[in-house]
Amino acid sequence: MVNFDDLDTDPLTSAPVPVVTAAEIRAAAHMQNGGDATFDCPKCGGSGVWRGGRAVRPCFSCKGIGKVSKGVVAAAKGRVTRAANLAADKAAFEAANPDLMKGLREIAGWHRFAGELLSKFEQYGELTAGQVNAALNTLAEVKRKREEKAAARALETADRSGEVGVERINALFATAMESGLKKPLFRTERLTIKPAKLHPGTLYVTDKAAGGEYVGKIVNGQFMARREAAPDTLALLCAIAADPLKAATDYGRSTGVCGCCGRELTDPDSVEAGIGPICATKWGL
């Protein structure tokens, strides 16, 4: 027989009966059976620990468990596959359109549309036919404008540009370089001439009268004046080219400095000559 005194039915003193939902029961059973988290976490390799430099902390991806669901593994693999595909697409497009990509990169710093095309390329790994067409048109337009500007400049300075017989100057620099000088520089009273390092056969000219500014270059015996060039620059260059030794010694006598190495002339004979004996030999003067 039931002892009614043992049944505590007073809501104020009885322990609450735990309420468990069906979903919680299913989830608990699922976890009991291994749950979804049965695959090694791709982020931490299943260790549940993330190591970055000296920092060691529980892995965020798997919450330190080391195991993740199949879906998480698949998503991670998908990301890797997509990244690999994108890289392959990019490499293929680059290989097929080297000039186009080079041209875009050259102007992307200031040309907004070129910059936009490059970010599309980064995103999709290629450009559409329409985008390629637009890019080609853009590059052609930039090239045309540059040529126009260069032509306008050449016209503007045509009266100051012209032929310079550079055989002697070239021989001078050739001898100086054969003597081991890495960056030969030829100083005269106003003009300084030096070979362009990246453009063999080109000589750069600066002028003291223009504040030491670059006033033009000599390419294949043609002086191409810049706007900064004084009207008499060409005549001066021709005089130097005709007699480099005179130009060097004139400079040395008037400044007391050797025109070839820029050092002060101290030996009385050198001061008199206007050039140091070692430089005279090295430069073949």
Give me the residues that bind Zn ion (CB under 5 A), please.
41, 43-44, 59, 61-62, 258, 260-261, 276, 279
Cβ distance 71 to 81 under 8 Å? no
Q: Which lies closer to Zn ion via its Cβ, residue 193 or residue 279? A: 279
CB nearer to Zn ion: pick between 184 and 195: 184
Smallest gap from Cβ 212 to Zn ion, in A, equals: 20
Residue 61 has, within 13 A of its CA and on its CB side, a CA count of: 22
Q: How many CA atoms does the CB half-sphere of 54 hold within 13 Å?
A: 0
Q: Which is nearer to Zn ion, 169 or 279 (CB)?
A: 279
3-state secondary structure of 118: helix
DSSP code, position 257 = B
Q: Is 131 helix (H, G, I), strand (E, B) or coil?
A: helix
Measure the CA–CA gap between 236 and 255, rounded to whole angstroms. Answer: 18
- Minimal distance, residue 45 CB to Zn ion, in Å: 8
Contact of 59 with 47, CB cutoff 8 Å: yes
CB of 227 to Zn ion, least distance (A): 33
Measured from the CB atom, is 59 or 236 closer to Zn ion? 59
* Smallest distance, Zn ion to C-beta of residue 271, A: 12
SS3 97: coil
Give the number of other Cβ atoms within 10 Å of residue 39's Cβ.
18
Measured CA distances, 84 to 88, 89, 125, 138 (Å): 6, 9, 11, 30
Rank residues 47 and 202 by Cβ distance to Zn ion and give the closer one: 47
Minimal CA–CA distance to 205: which of 175, 232, 181, 178?
232
CB 243 within 8 A of CB 233: no
In the bound state with Zn ion, the residue whose beta carbon lies nearer, of 9 and 266, is: 266
Cβ proximity to Zn ion: between 62 and 101 the closer is: 62
CB of 258 to Zn ion, least distance (A): 3
Instruction: Please report how close the Cβ of residue 257 comes to Zn ion at its closest, in angstroms.
Output: 8
- Which three-class secondary structure state does DSSP give residue 143? helix
Q: Cα–Cα distances in Å, from 42 out to 63, 149, 166?
A: 13, 57, 69
Task: Work out how close the CB of 279 gets to Zn ion at its nearest, in angstroms, rounded to a whole number.
Answer: 3
